[in-house]
């Protein structure tokens, strides 16, 4: 079957670094996506990994290990506006996205 | 460029009523999707369409129907609404011809069925 897990909630301090983990199980894999969703808004695309390794994009980086079924999103220099839910999703063999329930990130001053 | 629009923004509906949620995109994306999002659960795919004239069932299709008469529009119909269909509904689109099949989401429709 297919399964994807991420922590329900995390808290971090403004200016700090936080790592949000995501593990998945799938019979077919075509990439791992991270989306950001502010409360009451639509998800917006952050990053995509299809090969092992780290993809860096400004303050945000995403890592993938296909052999371990593991990804993380790293957020540096946290700002209050980074308070949001972060959604992990993998693309299965049918090119459909399978979504985790999301990690609510709370940033404290 | 508007991207993806959805209507209505929110709706309260009596159980048993028929309801159509509208979705329009102006990016000429060939694929479109309907998801529902419920507290504590990930986005769940209801129906999708890879190109105009074709549709497919997602993870939770029961009680919903879709049509794709053209590239831009992808309406979702609840034939006879039930309280368990209370949710936030997101429409999304993607360009399957691109290197990365990134999905872009509309603003959502918050539906309450009483």
The DSSP code sequence of A50-83 is -SSEEEEETTEEEEEETTTTEEEEEE-S--GGG-
- Count CB neighbours of B7 within 10 A: 14
Q: What are the tens digits of pLDDT across the range B42-57?
A: 899 999 999 999 999 9
Nearest chain A CA: its distance from B110 CA (Å): 10
Mean pLDDT of A36-44: 96
- State which residue of chain B sits closest to A49, comparing Cα positions: B100
Within the 70-109 window of chain A, which residues sit less than 8 Å (CB to CB) from chain B? 87, 89, 91, 95-102
Best residue in A1, A39, A43 for a mutation probing chain B (most B CBs within 10 Å): A43
Q: What are the tens digits of pLDDT across the range B2-23?
A: 799 999 999 999 999 999 999 9
The Cα angle at residue B58 between residues B57 and B60, in degrees rounded to 5? 105
Q: What are the tens digits of pLDDT across the range B57-89?
A: 999 999 999 999 999 999 999 999 999 999 999
Residue B62 CA to chain centroid, in angstroms? 14
């Amino acid at each position: 079957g297919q399964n994807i897990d991420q922590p329900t909630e995390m808290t971090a301090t403004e200016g700090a670094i936080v790592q949000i983990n995501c593990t998945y199980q799938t019979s077919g894999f075509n990439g791992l996506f991270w989306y950001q969703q502010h409360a009451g808004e639509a998800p917006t695309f952050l990053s995509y990994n299809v090969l092992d390794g780290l993809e860096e994009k400004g303050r945000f980086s995403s890592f993938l290990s296909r052999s371990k079924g593991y990804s993380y999103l790293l957020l540096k220099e946290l700002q209050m506006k980074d308070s949001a839910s972060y959604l992990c999703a993998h693309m299965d063999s049918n090119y459909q996205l399978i979504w985790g329930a999301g990690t609510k990130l709370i940033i404290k001053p | 460029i508007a991207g993806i629009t959805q209507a209505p923004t929110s709706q309260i509906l009596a159980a048993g009523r028929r309801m159509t949620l509208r979705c329009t995109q102006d990016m000429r994306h060939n694929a479109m999707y309907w998801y529902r999002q419920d507290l504590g659960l990930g986005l769940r795919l209801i129906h999708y369409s890879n190109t105009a004239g074709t549709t497919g069932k997602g993870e939770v299709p029961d009680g919903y129907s879709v049509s794709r008469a053209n590239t831009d529009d992808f309406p979702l119909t609840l034939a006879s609404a039930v309280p368990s269909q209370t949710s936030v509904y997101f429409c999304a689109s993607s360009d399957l011809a691109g290197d990365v099949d990134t999905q872009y989401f509309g603003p959502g429709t918050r539906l309450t069925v009483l």
